[in-house]
Amino acid sequence: MHPSPDYEQMLRRSDLRVTRPRVAVLDAVHRHPHADTETVIEAAREALGDVSHQAVYDVLRALTAARLVRRIQPSGALARYEARVGDNHHHVVCRSCGAIADVDCAVGEVPCLTASDDHGFTIDEAEVVYWGTCPACSTAHPLDEVRQ
C-alpha cells in the first residue's frame, strides 16, 4: 500500500494556499483516477460536507494550472482529472462504457515527443488516445463484435 500524498506540502510547493476544498479535491482526484467533475464534487462533499460546484470547478482549475492534476478530455467525453502528472503517458478509452486506463509510451522516456514534422514548435507534451473495447464490455457483448 502506498502512503497517501502530503497534499498540504504539494499545495505549498506550488505556491497555493492550503484550504480544505483544495485538500479535499486533491484527495478525490488521487483516490478516483480519471474522475469526472461530478465524481470529484461527490468525493469532496463526503470529506467536507457542503461545497459548491463552483468552488470545486475553481479548485480544479487552480490545481490544473499548478500542474498538480491533469485534465484530459477524450473526444465526445466529459473532462476527466487525474493525479498522474509530470510524465508523458497516454490513455485507452472503452467505446462502450467509457472506462479509461493509463498507457505508458511504448519505447523509452518520451519517444512520443518526436513528431514527424514539428513545424518549428518546441514540443513538450504529446497526447495519444487509444480507443477500443475494455475486457468487461468485450465479454458482456461478444455478439456485437461479430456484427461489426
Q: Among 60-69, 111-120, 125-134, which range has the highest average pLDDT?
A: 60-69
Collect all residues with Cβ–Cβ distance below 8 Å to 144 and sequence separation of at least 6: none
Task: Provide the residue ranges of all domains of the chain, joining segments of one domain with +.
Answer: 7-72, 87-147
Q: In the beta sheet, which residues pair with residue 91? A: 102, 129
Out of 1.10.10.10, 3.30.420.40, 3.40.30.10, 3.40.5.10, which CATH number does the structure's domain 7-72 have?
A: 1.10.10.10
Q: What is the mean pLDDT of the chain?
A: 86
At 2 the pLDDT is 45
At 127 the pLDDT is 79
At 147 the pLDDT is 46
Please identify, in words, the CATH class of the domain defined by 87-147: alpha beta
**8 A C-beta contact, residue 49 and residue 33:** no
H/E stretch holding 72: strand 70-72
Closest to 7 measured CA to CA, from 35, 31, 42: 31
Percent of the chain exceeding pLDDT 70 equals 86
Strands of 86-128, DSSP E: 90-94, 100-103
The values of phi and psi at residue 103, to 5°, are -135, 120
* Comparison of pLDDT for 34 and 106, the residue scoring more: 34
Torsion angle in degrees (nearest 10) through CA of 27, 30, 36, 37: 20
The alpha helices in 19-141, defined as continuous H runs, are 20-31, 37-48, 53-65, 135-140
